[in-house]
Chains A and B, each alone.
Chain A
Amino acid sequence: MEMKLLAGPVVALALIGAPAYAEITGDVVRIGVLTDMSSLYADNTGPGNVAATELAIEDFGGEVLGKRIELLTADTQNKPDIGLSVGGRWFDVEGVDVIAGASASSVTLAVQQLAGEKNKVFLISDAASSDITGKACNANTVHWTYDTASLANVTGSAVVEAGGDSWFFLTADYAFGYALERDVTAVVEAAGGEVLGSVRHPLNSSDFSSFVLQAQSSGAKIVGLANAGGDTVNAIKAASEFGLVQGGQKLAGLLVFVMDIHSLGLDVSQGLQLTEAFYWDQDDKSRAFTERYKKKMDGRVPNSIQAGYYAMITHYLKAVEALGSDGPGDAVVAKMKELETDDPLFGKGHIRVDGRHMHDMYLFEVKAPSESQGPYDYYKLIATVPPEKAFRPLEEGECPLVKN
């Protein structure tokens, strides 16, 4: 009730252009990074996400509107119940204003609902499920880096164009895997290809032999890896041990990051086509960011997820500054959608009403060992896909916010 009574005068003040007064709850802006610090996605997310967030906070001098910015981190271990209990405690007890995260799609969808109930802000870079800005969307969420629809649009259509018109999927058995398989299937079928079948494997598997054998016996030209992180690495290794590529089939890694290529080595992964939203060696700005990031991360380079953390935290802090307040959550997110985004890593863009951030996506091919100039020189650019082509059209997402 009190909130509603206050809302009137506040809106009125804002409309007549009165200077926004700083209303920062608890006199501190608390950012919670909730991500996979120890499990199979830790290389692609985890400590790198924290480092990128720290860089964003550093660029604001550690404060916004004269108030301190505080950073909390926690490990979800990719389990939805842990994500929910930490998230609940952060919002209710520790006064966290915004959570950035939250590792796997299963955890993310759970925390997204929580952020909606508590009316806080939830910024997503790790998770890929396109349901986040689709059926599950709410007014408290921004989904930054990529989603399964964009991976499908970019990788799927490129592979079918190159003649890979029959597919078999190795799918991780949870929300992200299903969403990726569904979205790629739609793209492949629209382009005239067909899907011969799929097999689901448990998350964080170490033994892919039976799944690879099923893929081999399917006779499909393309084996699509609808998984990520350690699972993709293990699947590619198993495929190379069973001679899948020598047998005339091709692998399509639907979600592969630069650290995965690093752990596989160029010998195994050369020629693999993949989609990412950011590459560290793109331009001077990305290289400058990478230098700062390397200092924090023992010489590793950032991937698109980690770049996404820097960009979305930066944009969040800008929105808090413009709004003059760090809450309620839906007001901050509305401000984020209203402001154009502009940062050194993703360039200019905007956030759509369903929470999707719009930017270019890139199709890369992994270099052969002879082409690579040194460590982390792995990608060559094949195509740049503009946001309207890369992401799912607004009206196809079934997001309730769009209808209103």
Chain B
Amino acid sequence: MSTAAIETLPRVEPQASLRHQYVIFAILVALAMVMPFAIYPVFLMKGLCFALFACAYNLLLGYGGLLSFGHALFFGSAAYVSAHAAREWGLTAELSILLGTAYAAVLGLCVGWLAIRRHGIYFAMITLAIAQMFYFFYVQAPFTHGEDGIQGVPRPPVFGIIPTVDDHVFYYIVLAIFLASFLLIYRAIHSPFGQVLKTIRENEPRAISLGYRVEHYKLLAFVLSATLAGVAGATKALVFQIASLTDVFWAMSGEVVLMTLIGGLGTIFGPIVGAFFVVGLQNYLADYGSLVTIIQGVIFVFCVLVFRRGFVGEIAKRIGKPL
């Protein structure tokens, strides 16, 4: 990352009061509880999956300063494994999601171990290259069914008892998964581990001189981010009952960068706003065909020029509190 980009990141003082964040969180949870009565639940579930994906990505880019351009690999791979587990092996929903997540974690460990040895653009290119290698593997591998994707994935009951076929019921399960993962990210950011991560982002040589083994911290952040991206992908496969090449394609890696930047890099709530914004655009502009990508591009350019801190980042700066 260039130093110019880092300067736009909000600096969180350790002693800053975080009470307003709890209030916002409580409001968001309350809103999320009643939303499915007003809005199509499948759309909300899609939004939640992508919000989690963006939050996981934000942990790496916003707090670790590591720009990965291959995060679709973890998202899509977990989707394939969870879809395959539910459809071919008949596992229950929570086991399918766990299996997909575990696979993403292992992949994250391998890719991260290799990639964190380089910085900046080289780091981004290594992650992109590995993600594309896996993409072509998935194109050819028989279990992914090529262009068709794994279709007709069942929605098995959670723990074998809670039915998930009804969209409204499944929404609350997805919401629970999202909230648990979100709290985990929140905890990680505000732990000593998170503080060290931010130190490395601000000034890596200084962190080394203080005696921190920065590559351990970076690797842990990478694996954590990949794992949570895996949770999002594995859940999405059960929501849409399909796992397809779209989820592992490089465009998906770009999309998550877009969501994080639009919402606000290095903010707690930014990626959620960004994800719902981008998913909403795709959903409501699908009727305009190829214009969707053009409109997205224009918005992206506009955001970079006008509010460089993203929606939430700008608000945080106005009110002078971290969000």
30 CB contacts below 8 A, A to B, read A74-B287, A75-B286, A75-B287, A77-B290, A78-B147, A80-B149, A80-B244, A81-B246, A82-B246, A84-B240, A85-B42, A85-B46, A85-B240, A85-B286, A92-B40, A92-B42, A106-B147, A106-B148, A106-B149, A106-B151, A109-B148, A110-B151, A110-B242, A172-B147, A173-B146, A174-B146, A174-B147, A175-B145, A175-B148, A200-B140
Q: Are B42 and A89 in contact (CB under 8 A)?
A: yes
Distance of B60 from chain A, by nearest CB (Å):
25
A residues with CB within 8 A of B:
37-38, 72-75, 77-82, 84-86, 88-89, 92-93, 104-106, 109-110, 113, 172-175, 200, 202-203
Once bound together, how far apart are the Cα atoms of A86 and B241, in whole Å?
14
Closest residue of chain B to A78 (Cβ to Cβ) is: B147
Given A38-B290, A74-B286, CB of A89 within 8 Å of CB of B40: yes
B14 on the A face (CB < 8 A): no
Q: Are B40 and A104 in contact (CB under 8 A)?
A: no
Enumerate the 4 nearest inter-chain pairs by beta-carbon distance, A residue then B residue, closest first. A174-B147, A75-B289, A38-B290, A106-B148
Q: How large is the interface on B (under 10, 10 to 19, 20 to 34, 35 or more residues)?
A: 20 to 34
Once bound together, how far apart are the Cα atoms of A105 and B146, in whole Å?
12
Q: Are B290 and A37 in contact (CB under 8 A)?
A: yes
Name the B residues within 8 Å of A173 (CB-CB): 139-140, 146-147
B283 on the A face (CB < 8 A): yes
Chain B 260-314 residues near chain A, CB threshold 8 A: 283, 286-290
Distance of A73 from chain B, by nearest CB (Å):
7
Q: A106-B147, A173-B146 are in contact. List 15 more A-B contacts (CB 8 A).
A: A38-B289, A73-B287, A75-B289, A77-B290, A78-B147, A82-B286, A84-B240, A85-B283, A92-B40, A93-B40, A105-B148, A174-B146, A175-B148, A200-B140, A202-B147
Chain B 118-163 residues near chain A, CB threshold 8 A: 139-140, 145-149, 151-152
Name the A residues within 8 Å of B145 (CB-CB): 174-175
Interface of B is mostly: helix
Name the A residues within 8 Å of B42 (CB-CB): 85, 88-89, 92
How many interface contacts (CB-CB < 8 Å) are there between A and B? 80
Q: Are B240 and A81 in contact (CB under 8 A)?
A: yes
Once bound together, how far apart are the Cα atoms of A77 and B283, in whole Å?
13
Name the A residues within 8 Å of B113 (CB-CB): none
Chain B 198-256 residues near chain A, CB threshold 8 A: 240-242, 244, 246-247
Closest residue of chain B to A75 (Cβ to Cβ) is: B289
B172 on the A face (CB < 8 A): no
Chain B 37-63 residues near chain A, CB threshold 8 A: 40, 42-43, 46
Q: Give which listed residue, A75, A93, A113, contacts B152 with CB less than 8 A.
A: A113
Name the B residues within 8 Å of A200 (CB-CB): 140, 146
Given A74-B287, A113-B152, CB of A84 within 8 Å of CB of B146: no
* Listed residue (B40, B147, B247) with the most chain A CB atoms within 10 angstroms of its CB: B147
Closest residue of chain B to A83 (Cβ to Cβ) is: B242
Distance of B135 from chain A, by nearest CB (Å):
10
Name the B residues within 8 Å of A74 (CB-CB): 286-287, 289
Name the B residues within 8 Å of A86 (CB-CB): 286
